[in-house]
Amino acid sequence: MRKRSHGMRAAHAVVAAAVLVTAGCDVVGDKASARDAGARAAKPSPVQVWDSSPDSIAAVGDSITRGFDTCAVLSDCPDASWATGSDPSVNSLAVRLLGAAGAARHSWNHAVTGSRMADLNGQMAKAVRNKPELVAVMVGANDACRDSTAQMTSVADFRRDFQKAMDTLRQALPRTEVYVSSVPNLKRLWSQGRTNPLGKQIWKLGICPSMLGDADALDDAAKQRRETVQSRVVDYNKVLSDVCAKDRRCRFDHNAVFDYQFGTAQLSHWDWFHPSRNGQARLAEIAYRTVTAKKP
């Protein structure tokens, strides 16, 4: 009986030890789980990089952003600008984001008719003084619209000057957001505008000769000239995309403006080159979609 009791006590001891070990593991596991849960709770949530509702906006660029030939011949019309205009028929990006009253107080248009990418840095320096929460950029058409294809801005210079303007902004305003429009499709502009006899006559005055000169010419030389311009615009848009992609607070429109299938209703009937009010409104729509999208 003693031996049996001794054996039973030993067995009970083994069972008790096993229970204690198991219980101990559970306690340790519970503590580890609690620590993990606490760590997860204490981990800061990702910083919101892009604000889809900025409180102020500055625009930089060329004649398109100035609303040139939208309201009257050979005249800027910033009220009809896709970026900062107040014209209700355009419903500009600023109005869509800030409301009419907010756009009047907190939007600025520093674009200059005739500007090329080399001029962007100076405009950006002016925009910085306003301390906007968003800068809207549309430039590049004039870099391709030259007297000849040989005079077009090189891709390397285009990249250098765009990066320089972005650096100027970032040195002063590291948190300001940037919307970058693609350069419009100049070949489509030729194909649409050439259907109008008046438009072709106006083009002869010297509007974008590299693409629009000799609008009816379909010989190999003319075709090659237009393809050279079109290829350069595609390269410019690749530069805009590449430089913007390196900046967490920059959004490129992913060629939405370039790909837009505009017709003559979107062209100014003063020159059949610049956007009409309808065209300006379409540009505003594209910009607003890009700025307010949940993801780039």
38-85 pLDDT, tens digit each: 444 445 545 568 999 999 999 999 999 999 999 999 999 999 999 999
For residue 289, CA distances in Å to 5, 70, 243, 255 come to: 84, 23, 21, 13
Please give the residue that has the higher pLDDT: either 27 or 64: 64
124 and 168 in contact (C-beta within 8 Å)? yes
Q: Average of pLDDT values for 160-172?
A: 98
- First-to-last CA distance in the chain? 82
| pLDDT above 60: residue 291 | yes
Looking at residue 295, what is its pLDDT?
A: 84
Place 2 in a pLDDT band, splitting at 50, 70 and 90.
Answer: very low
- Give the pLDDT score at 204: 94
Share of the chain above pLDDT 70, in %: 84
Share of residues in the chain with pLDDT > 90 (%): 82
Q: For residue range 111-152, list pLDDT tens digits in order.
A: 999 999 999 999 999 999 999 999 999 999 999 999 999 999
211-269 per-position pLDDT tens digit: 999 999 999 999 999 999 999 999 999 999 999 999 999 999 999 999 999 999 999 99
Whether 16 shows a pLDDT value over 80: the answer reads: no
pTM: 0.84
Mean pLDDT of the chain: 88
Q: Mean of the pLDDT values across residues 161-189? A: 98
Instruction: List own/partner pairs for 93-99 with CB under 8 A and 24 or more apart.
Output: 93/57, 93/136, 93/179, 93/284, 93/287, 93/288, 93/291, 94/57, 94/59, 96/284, 96/288, 97/53, 97/54, 97/57, 97/134, 97/288, 97/291, 97/292, 98/55, 98/56, 98/57
Six-digit token string for 132: 């906007």
